[in-house]
Structure 1
Amino acid sequence: MSVFLVPDGLAGERIDSVAARVSGYSRSRIEALIGEGGVSLDGATVTKPSARVAAGQLLELAEADLKPDRPVVRPRVAEGMAVVHEDADVIVIDKPAGVAAHPSLGWEGPSVTEHLAAAGVRISTSGAAERQGVVQRLDVGTSGLMVVAKSEIAYTILKQAFRDKTVEKTYHALVQGHPDPFTGTIEAPIGRHPSHEWKMAVMEGGRASTTHYDTLEAHRVATLLEIGLETGRTHQIRVHMSAIGHPCCGDPLYGSDPVLAQRLGLQRQWLHAVELSFDHPRSRERVTFRSEYPQDLAAALDVVRAG
């Protein structure tokens, strides 16, 4: 059985055409599969190839012994993805490192949206085609809590909540050295790096960006910080901490020491979204979720604590 979500761009099209496009089968094979009762929309068996689809419907194909007529890119399942909370409107997941929020140009690894599609989770169809349902993003190398909208109303309300800054996101970061003062606010505009396509930088003319930090633990070579954001720019924490001379451990893109990263056993930046709090889009009650450090970050922190 293969499961697909009907994208916005195919809404209103014939089921045989849509199924052929997303599955890799020819339309004639899809028609034969429909005749065998092997195609369903939202759990209802499709009986006519001319049936029309709606965006966000769950399309299921009982493949039997059929083989695709052309190569098919299947949704990729992300190992270690944990569901922290799920209801009719939202799903909160604990994203592991190495997983993008959604597919994008140049990224060939797994994504949150592909993982949810592969798991048969139906999410909102609002937003750009490649990022439907996504109301916030985490960097590929950053782990932790992320909410995805399942219903259309949840998408609308949560997007506005992020714009209104009523969503609270708390991060922990292990940074090199010792920020001075121990508690502070970094206000520096962030824009696309002028000579590095995948890098951001503090620069004149960039978008206003504000980061608050507080020291949790100070050790000989590194400091554990708790960080809150007023804005949500790409790579914001990593850029701001690097700008004040204290990059996240294990983050070579923004100037971390590779020798220290090796000693800590880090293969990515030490940055984790530990807490997420927002008003539920339907009940309007405040909900809060927390995430423990994943094994690689916990092990690195133990090394730092041991001196």
Structure 2
Amino acid sequence: MNELLIVIKENGPRIDKALTTYLPDYTRSQIQQWLKEGVVFLHGQPLKANYKVKAQDEIVICIPEPETLDLKPENLDLEIVYEDEDVAVVNKPQGMVVHPSAGHSHGTLVNGLLYQLNNLSTINDVLRPGIVHRIDKDTSGLLMVAKNDAAHESLASQLKNKTSLRKYVALVHGNITHEKGTIEAPIGRSKVNRKMQAIREDGKLAVTHFTVLERFGDFTLVELQLETGRTHQIRVHMQYIGFPLAGDPTYGPKKTLTGNGQFLHAKLLGFTHPRTKDKMVFEAPLPEIFEKTLKNLRKKD
């Protein structure tokens, strides 16, 4: 572990912003990640990102050792929907993890992107080049990829400012009788199961809009639009209102429809191009297993 000592010269802004001045070789995103990990200390206590620095503060940063995962390009025959010198849009299949992590060192979307694209942004850590946002392993559909750091900053800013467009299609348990709705409920890590998310009063703001597309008696097909992008947001929100996703025994009933995981597809993606400022909108068809399941439900209805 590499330990850094920074002595603050004068009263100033939040620590994440202040440290970018003292550590020009590190991005603000990296500094914010250290704060989340609790490795930035003052008087032996980990600091929060909203701490405002004071003159003579002695800040200690215990930089973790870099991951030892070997990140290799792999020919995974990814479906690149669009590509130019700044951005790419990829249609991720179900069952594919977005980036390497413990237990997933190969076969990830990042491994495939390294093989098929000539450049990827470097703003995130070494295991997430080009990745601006994620979808779950068993969720299919569209993701935007940054090919340089300027494009990454622009796309990430659009996500933060809620100016990008993300629409999903999901098949859920139950019969939703109203045509439209909005779910606004804060999401945080579950206190019962650390691998799950849950509705928590102290969680982060999360907003999901939904529209009913088709009803099948015991199931409903819905279109969902994300206003925020919390981990497992759609899965948690639909469970919260009593209509959990089909194929998702983690957040719904164990007895569910058979597929390749939850029936959730990132169907539509829109953003402003970082360089040209053109409005870009892309759409991906439902996976074959999703379409087949809908046909079977229509036959029964």
- If the TM-score is normalised by the length of the shorter chain, which range does it land in? 0.7 to 0.9
1:91–1:149 contact (8 Å) kept in structure 2: yes
Tell me by how many angstroms 1:103 deviates.
1.2
The residue aligned with 2:212 is 215
Aligned-residue CA RMSD (Å): 2.0
Query: Which of the residues 81, 84, 99 maps onto 2:81?
Result: 84
1:191 matched to 2:188? The reply is: yes
What CA deviation, in whole Å up to 9, does each residue of 1:77-113 have, x standing for no partner? 4756201000000010000011122112343552211
Q: Which moved more, 1:188-197 or 1:168-177?
A: 188-197
- Give me the whole-angstrom Cα distance separating, in 2, the residues matched to 1:122 and 1:98: 25
Q: Which moved more, 1:83-92 or 1:119-128?
A: 119-128
Cα distance change on mapping 1:239 and 1:100 into 2, 3 Å:
same
- Give 4+ residue runs of structure 1 displaced > 6 Å after superposition: none
Query: Which of the residues 284, 287, 292 maps onto 2:277?
Result: 284
Tell me by how many angstroms 1:76 deviates.
6.3
* TM superposition score normalised by structure 1: 0.72
Tell me by how many angstroms 1:127 deviates.
1.7
1:213–1:227 contact (8 Å) kept in structure 2: yes
Query: Which of the residues 212, 222, 225 maps onto 1:228?
Result: 225
- Give me the whole-angstrom Cα distance separating, in 2, the residues matched to 1:97 and 1:79: 13
Q: For structure 2, which runs of at least 5 residues remain unmatched after alignment? A: 1-24, 26-68
The residue aligned with 2:293 is 300
Tell me by how many angstroms 1:203 deviates.
1.5
SS of 1:148's partner is strand
Tell me by how many angstroms 1:120 deviates.
5.0
1:156 matched to 2:149? The reply is: no
Cα distance change on mapping 1:106 and 1:126 into 2, 3 Å:
same
Query: Which of the residues 176, 179, 185 maps onto 2:176?
Result: 179
2:239–2:252 contact (8 Å) kept in structure 1: yes
* TM superposition score normalised by structure 2: 0.73
The percentage of aligned residue pairs carrying the same residue is: 39
The residue aligned with 1:271 is 264
Q: Which amino acid aligns with 1:285?
A: D
- Give me the whole-angstrom Cα distance separating, in 2, the residues matched to 1:159 and 1:271: 23
Q: For structure 1, which runs of at least 5 residues remain unmatched after alignment? A: 1-10, 12-71
SS of 2:110's partner is helix
Q: Highest Rg: 1 or 2?
A: 1
The residue aligned with 2:197 is 200
Quick check: which one's helix share is greater? 1
SS of 1:160's partner is helix
SS of 1:131's partner is coil
Alignment size in residue pairs: 234
Q: Which amino acid aligns with 2:118?
A: V
Tell me by how many angstroms 1:180 deviates.
4.1
SS of 1:254's partner is coil
The residue aligned with 1:244 is 241
Q: Which moved more, 1:100-109 or 1:223-232?
A: 100-109
- Give me the whole-angstrom Cα distance separating, in 2, the residues matched to 1:148 and 1:79: 16
2:75–2:115 contact (8 Å) kept in structure 1: no
Tell me by how many angstroms 1:208 deviates.
1.0
- Give me the whole-angstrom Cα distance separating, in 2, the residues matched to 1:304 and 1:109: 36
Q: Which amino acid aligns with 1:177?
A: G
Cα distance change on mapping 1:109 and 1:91 into 2, 3 Å:
same
